[in-house]
Amino acid sequence: MGQTLAEKILSAHTSDPVRPGEFAQVRVDVALANDVTAPIAIREFEKIGTGKVFNPDSVVLVPDHFAPNKDIKSAAQCAIMRNFARDQEISHYFEVGKMGIEHVLLPEQGLVLPGDVVVGADSHTCTYGALGAFSTGMGSTDIAVAMATGEIWMRVPETIRIVYTGVLQPWVGGKDLILYTIGKIGVSGALYKAIEFAGQAIDALSMAGRFTMANMAIEAGAKAGLFAFDDKTRTYVDQRATREYTPYAADEDADYAATIEIDASLIKPQVAFPYLPENTRPVSEAGNIPIDQVVIGSCTNGRVEDLRVAAGILRGKAVHASVRCIILPGSQQVYLDALREGLIEDFITAGAAVSTPTCGPCLGGHMGVLAAGERAASTTNRNFRGRMGHPESEVYLVGPAVAAASAIAGRITRPQEVL
Amino acid sequence: MTIKGHVWKYGDNVDTDAIIPARYLNVSSTKDLAAHCMEDIDPAFAASVKKGDIIVAGENFGCGSSREHAPIAIKGAGISCVIASSYARIFYRNAINIGLPILESAQAVREAKKGHELEVQIEAGTIRNLTTGKTYRTAAYPKFMLAIINAGGLVGYTKARIEERRRG
């Protein structure tokens, strides 16, 4: 019996080939933490007693959640990470001014590559599956151990294959595909499993769209969400890679726990209602949902392709008088690209606020926290109770096209309604 | 290890923002995190939870973020054990890694009500509902995970592995 992509990559990082269900010590190529998770990882790392990290080039530390420091307590957390990075001579520590939202930044900088095993103390570490890497979120203690030893324990996951046939409708992107999928299989539909995304619609999807889909694999409970390596991956990676890499492919006769086929040509722009990402429906069936805030950005939709879609809709139009529209480019490079393309001018002229890169409002941290009773349409990845602020506020998850259209209309709506 | 405590009962998909809202993640001390545990779905929890109490919940407990602050807050609040129908995987490994006992039993969950008293034997994998008199059996931990649990968590396990390697 052949191996799935996940089994292939993991087998290349263990002492013996692995099968689903087995526990294994897996070598890691990159270990990642941020300003929220690193302080605990550092505390646990110090208890292990190796003194030094296994390889200062393989650890990546990014202050992005509550950075630029939102308050004194956050400043203290960021300082713990900064001092550790200095003491350990970590090559890839990204200070404010160079940093981005970690899952936009690492692929952009060529730090995560096809065939890698990447572990991060952040649940959206699964984003790098778009590159054909096995990447997964873990806790701080896991990352402490990975930093100390270069290895971590894993249970090898079974794989679900999801095949998207057909050609996408206008204004439908990676976000709509993944929201639709989570609506179909549920927030625990891929629990403990890896997902392989495949099919005609996936082959045609941009790298940005693939990052968005892989990013939200965790919202279906998955350990990883992987894409096959193809010419698009090669083009993206070859201009950025900081080291050699080995792409892997699933075997023809790989054994999948399940195969799900989705006719992607039938999928319309989607919205996920509070308080779970599985509460999806087409935007055309959303009814009248007035909104107070729109957030465009995050590790899910903070790439320049996303901003291009949003700016294309906002250009020459005005953000609704009762809406605060906040744009968060995913990295300094994304910001610069957007600036050079004139997208930032489009946003500001339309009455949107443009922020330095940060996770900020996605997790109710800063830069756009909601009051009781307020609603946001957001291109982020979670709409749990209290996620963006007050427990009585609401987040509706959408793609960048629907977010931009909704900012103009003052309620959740399709791009066709405002163009 | 035998655990005895009263039940705090919750539903399906209790997410990590419910266990510890992100607005409190600007600190990492156990005491500060425990003070806000379950705040948005059960404001009474942190103030009235008793040492040894048990959280009982439905499917996909701990879904969402990778924040280890979630099991740390639960353990810090005095909870001795979590019993759920199923767990989100990062929460599951975080709990094992920091030495918070967790068990899976959909039936025990279905039949437990808030305030019931449970007696749990971790190694044997048995849950006794002392209020109803019913006993439930859960799947035993895989050997690999039991080794982590017996080492007091992943740090202890890793230190022992490093020591073993050093000795060759």
Number of domains in chain A: 2
Residue of A nearest to B27 (CA): A73
**Is the same domain home to A365 and A293?**
yes
| B102 part of a folded domain | yes
| B65 part of a folded domain | yes
**Is the same domain home to A223 and A329?**
no
Question: Where among A210, A235, A261 does a domain terminate?
Answer: A261
> Quick one: pLDDT at residue B124?
85
| CA quadruple A312, A315, A317, A319: dihedral, nearest 10 | 80
**Is the same domain home to A53 and A166?**
yes
Q: How far is B91 from chain A (nearest CA, A)?
A: 8
**Is the same domain home to A211 and A338?**
no
**Is the same domain home to A62 and A171?**
yes
Is B109's pLDDT higher than 90?
A: yes
Cα A337 to Cα B41: distance, rounded to the nearest angstrom = 42
**Is the same domain home to A58 and A103?**
yes
**Is the same domain home to A132 and A280?**
no
| B42 part of a folded domain | yes
What's the pLDDT tens digit per position in A3-12? 999 999 999 9
Asked whether the beta carbons of B96 and B53 are under 8 A apart, the reply is no
**Is the same domain home to A86 and A202?**
yes
Asked whether the beta carbons of A361 and A334 are under 8 A apart, the reply is no
Cβ contacts of A289 within 8 Å, gap of 6 or more: A375, A377, A396, A411, A412
> Quick one: pLDDT at residue B168?
80
| B97 part of a folded domain | yes
Task: List Cα–Cα distances, A329 to A216, A332, A338, in angstroms.
Answer: 18, 7, 8
**How many Cβ atoms sit within 10 Å of the Cβ of residue B135?**
11
| B74 part of a folded domain | yes
Is A188's pLDDT higher than 90?
A: yes
Token pair of A164 as six digits = 């998207």
Asked whether the beta carbons of B67 and B31 are under 8 A apart, the reply is no
| A266 part of a folded domain | no
A364/B86 CB distance under 8 A: no
| B154 part of a folded domain | no
Cβ contacts of A95 within 8 Å, gap of 6 or more: A63, A82
A15 touches chain B (CB under 8 A): no
For an interface test with B, the pick among A119, A384, A387, A394 (most B C-beta atoms closer than 10 Å) comes out as A384
Asked whether the beta carbons of B144 and B113 are under 8 A apart, the reply is no
Task: Provide the domain limits for residue B89.
Answer: 2-140
Which burial class, exposed, middle or buried, applies to A390 when counting CB atoms under 10 A from its CB (0-12, 13-18, 19+)? middle
Confidence band, pLDDT 50/70/90 cuts, at residue A72: very high
Question: Which residue in B116, B130, B9, B117 sits closest to B58, CA to CA?
Answer: B9
The distance in angstroms from the start CA to the end CA of chain A is 52
| B155 part of a folded domain | no
Q: Residue holding tokens 């292939």?
A: A8
B21/A364 CB distance under 8 A: yes
Token pair of B98 as six digits = 């920091």
Cα A148 to Cα A55: distance, rounded to the nearest angstrom = 9
Q: A residues 224-263 near B, CB within 8 Å? A: none
The distance in angstroms from the start CA to the end CA of chain B is 33
Closest Cβ–Cβ partner in B41, B90, B144 for A139: B90
What's the pLDDT tens digit per position in A78-98? 999 999 999 999 999 999 999
Q: How many CA atoms lie within 13 A of A346 on its CB side?
A: 19
**Is the same domain home to A238 and A364?**
no
> Quick one: pLDDT at residue B121?
92
CATH code for the domain of A398? 3.30.499.10
Over residues A326-333, the mean pLDDT reads 98
Reduce the DSSP state of residue A134 to 3 states and report it: strand
What's the pLDDT tens digit per position in A255-309? 999 999 999 999 999 999 999 999 999 999 999 999 999 999 999 999 999 999 9
Confidence band, pLDDT 50/70/90 cuts, at residue B120: very high
Is B1's pLDDT higher than 90?
A: no
Which strand (E) or helix (H) includes residue A93?
strand A92-93
A223 touches chain B (CB under 8 A): yes
A141/B155 CB distance under 8 A: yes
Token pair of A80 as six digits = 């713990």
> Quick one: pLDDT at residue B140?
81
Q: How many inter-chain contacts (A to B, CB under 8 Å) are there? A: 140
Cα B103 to Cα B57: distance, rounded to the nearest angstrom = 11
Cα A223 to Cα A244: distance, rounded to the nearest angstrom = 25
**Is the same domain home to A186 and A101?**
yes
Question: Where among A261, A293, A308 does a domain terminate?
Answer: A261
Question: Where among A261, A293, A322 does a domain terminate?
Answer: A261
**How many Cβ atoms sit within 10 Å of the Cβ of residue A83?**
11
> Quick one: pLDDT at residue B21?
96
Q: Residue holding tokens 């692929």?
A: A107
Residues of B with CB under 8 A from a CB of A: 13, 15, 17-18, 21-23, 25-28, 40-41, 59-60, 63-69, 71-72, 86, 88-90, 93-94, 97-98, 142, 144-145, 148, 153-155, 158-159, 161-162
A148/B158 CB distance under 8 A: yes
CATH code for the domain of B115? 3.20.19.10
Q: Residue holding tokens 């139009």?
A: A317
A37 touches chain B (CB under 8 A): yes
**Is the same domain home to A196 and A296?**
no
What residues in B contact A389, CB-CB < 8 Å?
Answer: 23
Confidence band, pLDDT 50/70/90 cuts, at residue B143: confident
**Is the same domain home to A166 and A36?**
yes
For an interface test with A, the pick among B90, B92, B157, B166 (most A C-beta atoms closer than 10 Å) comes out as B90
What's the pLDDT tens digit per position in B30-78? 999 999 999 999 999 999 999 999 999 999 999 999 999 999 999 999 9
| A39 part of a folded domain | yes
Task: Provide the domain limits for residue A199.
Answer: 5-261
B72/A43 CB distance under 8 A: no
Reduce the DSSP state of residue B162 to 3 states and report it: helix
Residue of A nearest to B160 (CA): A48
